[in-house]
Structure 1
Amino acid sequence: MLTVLRNSWALLFGISLLMLGNGIQGTLLGVRGEIEGFSTGAMSIVMSGYFAGFLLGSQAVPGMIRRVGHVRVFAALGSIASAGLILYPVLVDPISWTLLRVTLGFCFCGVYIVAESWLNNTTTNETRGRALSLYLIAQMVGIVAAQGVFALGDPSDFHLFIIVSVLVSLAFGPILLSATPVPPFGTTKPMSLVTLYKVSPLGVVGIFILGAVFAAMFGMAGVYGAIAELTTAQIALFVSAIYTGGMLLQYPIGWLSDTMDRRQLVVAGAVLGILACILGYSGFAGFYGLLAAAFLMGGVANPLYGLLLAYTNDYLDPDDMASASARLLFINGLGAIGGPLITGWLMGAIGPGGFFAFVGLLMLALGLYALWRMTRRAAHVSDEQASYVAMAPSAVTPVTMTNMVDEWEDQMSQDSEESAPAA
């Protein structure tokens, strides 16, 4: 672990700063939009813009890197992102904010891809898992810390937007000054959606549903807090609870998933998610009940993403994992675009409780579909399952997926060697 920190501390520090700035931005816009008098429907479109941009970036940025190189792409997208962040209080209208969100989603996707490429180049097969874990921890620390910074500021003025822009600009310094040369960005052989669905229907449908869940939770949490008339500090705690739950429950759920039929755990996670949404919708136990609901929602949703990826890889050959992961990333992005739109419509129709209603309905759909799939296919033999890899789906890029695939391939190779009879 110390070796990984010594080789990658600057990258990890830079990523924490990036997530700190991006985390403030997501919550700040939801609250500021309410202050500016934007309708719930308008804010849902604004928040969806980030996920549309992120999806476009995941498809376009690898080609940009191959044409002009990592450093130029990183510097260009970083500069555009920093400039975009400071324009929000200047261009105060839903159309401008939507265009800025699309631009920022595209830029942040590219920035993550480049940073993760450098991180990947500093690791070996033996240290990749620890590096990925530290990378995810750095992400979560940045996002949770962002809510504390947000709580200290006034969302009605421009100072928080300046702070966000400065933090993102500062993040590039340690990454650019310490990054080692990176190999060319590779491509994977294509896999059609039809083929992937035949391999794992639950994986495809589940990842699509979770894309909408994540976008609703992470894109609309600030909007929910503003509509529900929570204070700035309460909104910060509410958003923090979602991310903290995802960070703390990743590993126990991941450990369980390697010892049992993953579909049973998907159903159990969906049930817990539904109960959390009922708690949040009912308002039982006041604000503390709201925090508990947020913690449990994030705590089951984040691990479910890695769980469904591992389940899909159970039925894939190692050579097909990278292309399948790229397709799943695209499917998740499609679901993410619609998440804030439908959440915003429901919140406009039935009030702030629409936030929990939408997530609860998605969890219900996921649980029912997983139950139905259990009647269509026998359980996978646990000894042959690919190992669960913890991850934060709020910032998944093709490089993260590649790292995860490498982890699965290494684990499968080790398992094969251990199970082979002695000569």
Structure 2
Amino acid sequence: MELSGWWPLWALARGAIGFMMCGLYTVIESWLNDQATDTTRGRVLAAYTFVVLMAMALGQFLLSWMPISTATPIIAAAMLIAMAIVPVGLTRQLAPAPMATTRVSFGLLYRRSKVAFAGALMSGLVTGSFWTLGAVFAKRSMPEISDVSLFIAAAIIGGAVAQYPVGLLSDRFGRPRILVALSSLSVAVCALLALATERVVLLGLVTVFGAVAMPMYALALATVIDKARSGEFVLVGTSVLLLNATGAALAPLFIGPLMDAASVSMLWWSLALTSGLIGFYIFVHRSDRENVAPEEQTPFNMAAPEIAPTAFELDPRGPDSMEEVIEPAVERPAFDDSHAGAQADKA
């Protein structure tokens, strides 16, 4: 049987891997949150995010060091994951206390911040398409298979380096303004990537693309955190995560056929159009009453939730000890979305 005939099995396997990796990130970040305090949480998240992004960048080079026509890279990845279990099994640190369950409410997210809603969706559509189809573009546009690894790694490094500076700018000038600036830069960079042909130019431009696209999620999350009320943080954070994931899953289904029907550059033209439309929406709503002035914002937490999906649980306004707020034995009442909407309308 030809390899193309195995695509349903590949799709099932990738879905299972995604499910398990999401669980790993959830456990890791919950553990970090439980051990960190208000004074150390930002630094802990910054170090964690940097390590994750740099490890992902290094992982791309496995394609250059190992023959991709065999199962060797997959076996090596499995061995690395198995090795990572050893220090976890030997640690004496206590596991984090259980978190209260929550649900998703896109309506509440939209009412709290239209800018955050649009930013989360833009992040999913843009970065999700790149993660899925960026390697396809690189393989068809660059001469060597090693260039594919370098292309993806360049974007990751750009995103890692830009996280902290973008966060500082958003603290000073406001999240909506920086999101508008990032979306505008994304339009320009994607258009240039669609037109570029030289290897060095492509690598340089994709590094800039990672720098402007990957911080979008963290900015969207920070925007709604600034406006979320007490008890809503996990709820709106979960909604931001799922909205981002939905965009990341759906966009490649439409952009992939465009790349086959026309050319691989349709990836970048599609992302330029997406960034422009959603960026214009954010520009129109940047001064809405739900937006918070820069001097009233909570400090920016450098995190990359597109890499680490549960960073929304790390509320910088929470107490140092989770035992102060978690009571697993007591059933909490469900959040009344309609009541929250009514209260927001009265306000």
* TM-score band w.r.t. shorter chain: 0.7 to 0.9
1:131 corresponds to 2:44 = yes
- Asked if 1:100 corresponds to 2:13, the answer is yes
Judged with a 3 Å threshold, the aligned counterparts in structure 2 of structure 1 residues 116 and 264 are, in CA distance, closer, same or farther, namely closer
Structure 2 CA distance for aligned equivalents of residues 93 and 343 of structure 1: 22
Query: Equivalent residues in 2 for 1:6-85 (5 A)?
Result: 38=4
Q: For residues 83 and 306 of structure 2, what CA distance do their matches in structure 1 show?
A: 22
Equivalent residue, structure 2, for 1:71:
none
- Cα deviation, residue 107, structure 1: 0.8
> Aligned residue for 2:337?
none
Does the CA contact (< 8 Å) of 2:54 and 2:156 recur in 1? Answer: no
Match of 1:382 in 2: 294
Question: Residue 191 of structure 1: CA displacement?
Answer: 6.1
Q: Which residue of 1 aligns with 2:342?
A: none
Whole-Å separation in 1 of the counterparts to 2:239 and 2:253: 23
Bigger shift: residues 274-283 or 387-396: 387-396
Q: Give the conservation status (yes or no) of the 8 Å contact 2:25–2:309.
A: yes
Runs (4 or more) in structure 1 with deviation over 4 Å come to 188-191, 375-379, 408-411
Structure 1 contact 243–295 (Cα < 8 Å) conserved: yes
Per-residue deviation, 1:293: 1.8
Residues 112, 227 of structure 2: 8 Å contact kept: yes
Deviation at 1:373, TM superposition (A): 0.9
Q: Is the 8 A contact 1:267 1:370 kept in 2?
A: yes
Tell me how far apart the structure 2 counterparts of residues 230 and 244 of structure 1 sit (CA, whole Å): 22
Where do residues 183-202 of structure 1 align in structure 2 (5 Å cutoff)? 183-188=96-101, 190=103, 192-202=105-115
What are the Cα deviations for residues 31-89 of structure 1, in whole angstroms up to 9, with x where unaligned? Answer: xxxxx774xxxxxxxxxxxxxxxxxxxxxxxxxxxxxxxxxxxxxxxxxxxxxxxxxxx
For residues 301-380 of structure 1, the aligned pairs below 5 Å read: 301-374=213-286, 376-377=288-289, 380=292
- Pick from 142, 149, 169: which aligns with 1:236? 149
1:390-410 deviation line (CA, Å, top 9, x unaligned): 112332333x2212x2x2457
Instruction: Give, in angstroms, the shift of residue 181 of structure 1.
Output: 2.1
AA of the residue aligned to 1:136:
T
Distance 1:314 1:390 in 2: 15
Say what the alpha-carbon RMSD is for the aligned residues: 2.2
AA in 1 matched with 2:297: Q
Q: What is the aligned partner in structure 2 of residue 224 from structure 1?
A: 137
Query: In structure 2, do the counterparts of structure 1 residues 264 and 128 end up closer, same or farther at CA, with 3 Å as the change threshold?
Result: closer
What's the CA shift for 1:109?
0.9
Contact 1:188 1:323 in 2 (8 A): no
Q: Give the Cα–Cα distance (whole angstroms) in 1 for the partners of residues 92 and 133 of structure 2.
A: 35
Letter in 1 for 2:123: L
Give the secondary-structure state (helix, strand or coil) at the position aligned to 1:395. coil
Distance 2:108 2:224 in 1: 12
Q: Which amino acid aligns with 1:351?
A: S
Indicate the SS of the match to 1:314: helix
Say which SS state the counterpart of residue 215 (structure 2) adopts. Answer: helix
| Contact 1:253 1:303 (C-alpha < 8 Å) held by counterparts | yes
Greater fraction helix:
1
Aligned equivalents of 2:299, 2:33: Cα separation in 1: 20
Tell me what 2:333 maps to. none
SS in 1 for 2:99: coil
Scaled by the length of structure 2, what TM-score is found? 0.85
Alpha-carbon displacement from aligned partner over 1:188-216 (angstroms, at most 9, x marks no partner): 55563212211111211220221121211
Structure 2 equivalent of residue 72 of structure 1: none
Among 72, 81, 84, the residue aligned to 1:159:
72
* Partners of 2:54 and 2:160 within 8 A in 1: no
Alpha carbons of 1:190 and 1:164: their partners in 2 closer, same or farther (altered >3 Å)?
closer
Matching residue's letter, 1:329: L
Indicate conservation of the 8 Å contact 1:302/1:391, yes or no.
no
Gaps of 5+ in 2: 321-347
Q: How far apart, in 1, do the equivalents of 2:299 and 2:263 lie?
A: 41
What stretches of structure 1 of length at least 5 have no aligned partner?
1-35, 39-91, 412-423
Aligned amino acid, residue 146 of structure 1: G
Q: Helix, strand or coil for the counterpart of 2:37?
A: coil
Give the residue type in structure 2 aligned to 1:110: G
Percent of counterpart pairs with the same letter? 27
Give, in angstroms, the shift of residue 179 of structure 1.
5.2
- Equivalent residue, structure 2, for 1:402: 313
Does the 8 A contact of 1:190 with 1:323 survive in 2? yes
> Relative to structure 1, is the Cα distance of residues 159 and 291 closer, same or farther in structure 2, using a 3 angstrom cutoff?
same
State the SS of the aligned residue for 1:259. helix
TM-score of the superposed pair, with normalisation by structure 1: 0.71
CA spacing shift, 1:335–1:237, aligned 2, 3 Å: same
Q: Does 1:211 align with 2:124?
A: yes
